[in-house]
Amino acid sequence: MHLVSEAYRLAYADRAKYVADSDFVRVPVAGLLAPSYLRERAASIRMDRSMGVPVAGAPAGAVSHLGIDDSLGLPSTSHISIVDRYGNAVSMTTTIEFGFGSLQMVGGFLLNNQLTDFAFSPNDAQGNPVANRVEPGKRPRSSMSPTIVFDAENRVEAVVGSPGGGNIIQYVVKTLLGLIDWDMNIQQAIDLPNFGAQTGATTTIERHTKVVELSAGLEARGHTVRIASENSGVQGIVFNGMRGPAKPGRLARDPGAGRWAGGADPRREGTAAGND
């Protein structure tokens, strides 16, 4: 939990500074994903102490004078994962950003409240322009993370995603960790306790779960722990027989299985359904 939360801090810090609509802002994707940059960022994670409030890095190609985003992470998102009989796969996360969107209905459809995904301030406290500021015709940045996992032969292995505002990223990562690294089935991975951090010193742990017992250990490492309800809603499908292979970070098919398995998050409404 310590290591993953620290990695979240670094990722969210870079996201808050550099990620926005690439039609308006030069997003340094190659620099953010460069192995040398990732090694540099990972080196700032200490085993014995939390970094507290993270600082954005300086990847190659980045615009250095950008400010830090202050957008909200509102709920009211839905996710579906689908695989049909022909093997076509869909991972779709959709949101109207508020319980009833913008409270306006047109033609029977609620209009979304998506402006809240933009930064609320066009400039930060130092006057630097925020990449995710509101501009005409601009797409707001989002935490939605619909994900499809492929194997080495380009076959679909898993379809996952979740609602949950700014924590969607953490819910999806947790599920992938369970599937890929911890040899869990899809329902076990979804059921894992939620936890994580964003751009502050606070590490959140899901209330009424066994990992609350780890709070003292995290606090001893300098984390500011908050116990809270984590309203994830992960929906996932995997090729039945997925297992943690000998080589870390890879998924493998069981040639004798040939079926799909689904899982639904017990924290929200939702169900896994199939035709047999």
Q: Is residue 195 within 8 Å of 203, Cβ to Cβ? A: yes
Strands 260-264 and 235-239: antiparallel
Q: Please name the residue that has the structure tokens 């001893």.
A: 220
Amino acid identity for residue 31 in this structure: G
| CA angle centred on 160, ends 269 and 5, rounded to 5° | 95
Amino acid identity for residue 42 in this structure: A
**Exposure string over 74-99, b if 16+ CB within 10 A, otherwise e:** bebbbbebebeeeeebebebebbbbe
Q: Is residue 77 among the annotated active site residues?
A: yes
State residue 10 phi and psi, 5-degree precision.
Answer: -65, -45
Cα separation, 191 vs 75, whole angstroms: 20
Catalytic residue among 77, 95, 199, 204: 77
**Catalytically annotated residues:** 77
